[in-house]
Structure 1
Amino acid sequence: MATSRSDWLNEGLDVLAHEGAEGLRIDRLASRLGVTKGSFHHHFAGAAGYRTALLEHYEQSTLHALDAAVGARREQGTRATLEWLVALATDERSSIRRAELDRAVRAWANSDPEARATQARIDARVIDALQEAWRPASGSDAAARTAALVPYLVSLGAAVTVPPISAAELREVYVLLLEAVPGASGA
C-alpha cells in the first residue's frame, strides 16, 4: 500500500506529540510507517520542507476543528457556544483536545521561529474565536477579549500542569467559569 503525504504528516503529528520535535527524523518516521526513505522524498523536499509541511498541517487541522466547533453553536448564543466548547475541550476523544500535541508544538516554538509563528497564528485565531463568542454577551470588544482570555489562559495552564489536570477537573473549572456568562443563573 502506498504511503500518502497525509500518512507522513499524521504520523509526524503522533511522533511530535509523544517524542517532541527531536523525534521527527526521516528514518524513524519511515520505520514507523513501514516504508523506505524514498517514499518520504517523493512527498517532501528534505527534512526542513517536511517540518514546514507538518506545521502547516497542524495549523490547518487545529483551525478547522476550531471553526467547526465554534460554528456548530454560533447562532445559539454565547452560552450555548461556550458550553459546546467546554464539552469538546474536556472530551478525551475530541479533535480539539490534543494536550500532548499542543504541549509539544509549544515546546518546539520555544526554539524554532517557524513553529513560534505557527503557534502565534493559532493562539490569535483561538482568542479571536472566543472573543467573537463572548461579544454578544459583553458590553464592548475589550470586555469580550478579556472574557475570551480567561478560559484560554486556564486551558494553557491546565495543559502544562504536572501531573496533568484531568478532563473531569478541567470541566469543573470551565463550568465554574460559565457562571460568568450573562444569563447563566437562569440557564
Structure 2
Amino acid sequence: MAITRTDWLDAGLDVLAREGADGLRIDRLASRLGVTKGSFHHHFAGAAGYRTALLDHYEQLTLQALDAAVEARQQQGTRATLEWLVELATDEPSSIRRAELDRAVRAWANSDPEARATQARIDARVIELLQTAWRPASESDAAARTAALVPYLVSLGAAVTVPPISAAELRAVYELLLGAVPGAATD
C-alpha cells in the first residue's frame, strides 16, 4: 500500500498529540507507517518542510470542521448554531476538539514562530466564527465578541486542565453557558 502525503501528516498529528513536537522525527514516523525514509522525501523537502505542511494540515482540519459547523446552522439562529457546536465539541471522538493535540500545538507555539503564527490564525478565526454566531443575539459587534470569548476561553481552559476535563463535564459547562443565549432557536 502506498503511503500518501496525507498519511504522513495524519501520523504526524497523532505523534504530535502524544509526544509533542519533539516526537516529530522522520525515522520514527517512517517506522510507525511501515515505510522507508525515502517515502518521506518523496512527499516533503526535509523536516522543516514537513513541519510547515503539518501545521498547515492542522490549521485546515481545525478550521474546515468549524467553518462547516457554523455554516450549516447559521441560518437557524444563534442558539441553534451554538448548540450544534456544543455537540461537535463534546462528541467522543470530537471532530473539532482534540484536547491533547490542542495542548501540543500550543506548547509548540511557545518555542516556534511558525507554530505560533498558525495558532494565532486559528485563534483569530475561531473567535471570529463564534462572534458571527453570537452577532444576531447581541446588541453590538463588541458585545458579540465578548460573548464569543466566553465559550472559547472555557474550551481553552478545558484543554489545558490536568487531568483533562471530560466531554461530559465540558458539555455540562457549555449547557450552562447556553442558558445565557437570548431567545429561542430562531434568533
Tell me which interval the TM-score lies in, with the shorter structure as reference length.
over 0.9
Taking the aligned partners of 2:11 and 2:43, their CA distance within structure 1 comes to 14
Q: CA deviation at 1:156?
A: 0.3
1:165 equivalent in structure 2: 165
1:12 aligns with 2:12: yes
In the TM superposition, 1:87-98 aligns within 5 A as 87-98=87-98
Q: Write the letter of the residue equivalent to 2:165.
A: I
Q: CA deviation at 1:98?
A: 1.0
Aligned pair count reads 186
Taking the aligned partners of 2:90 and 2:54, their CA distance within structure 1 comes to 25
1:70 aligns with 2:70: yes
1:100 equivalent in structure 2: 100
Q: CA deviation at 1:97?
A: 1.6
1:109 equivalent in structure 2: 109
2:42 equivalent in structure 1: 42
Taking the aligned partners of 2:109 and 2:64, their CA distance within structure 1 comes to 21
Q: CA deviation at 1:87?
A: 0.8
Structure 2 counterpart SS, 1:144: helix
Taking the aligned partners of 1:2 and 1:164, their CA distance within structure 2 comes to 36
2:25 equivalent in structure 1: 25
Taking the aligned partners of 1:7 and 1:175, their CA distance within structure 2 comes to 36
Which blocks of at least 5 consecutive residues in structure 2 are unaligned? Answer: none
Q: CA deviation at 1:120?
A: 0.2
Taking the aligned partners of 1:127 and 1:97, their CA distance within structure 2 comes to 15
The runs of at least 4 consecutive aligned structure 1 residues that moved more than 4 Å come to none
Q: CA deviation at 1:94?
A: 2.1
Q: Which deviations, in whole Å up to 9, do the C-alpha atoms of 1:112-146 show, x marking residues without a partner?
A: 00000000000000000000000000000000000
* Two-structure CA RMSD over aligned residues (Å): 1.3
1:51 aligns with 2:51: yes
> More relative contact order in 1 or in 2 (CA 8 Å, sep 6+)?
2
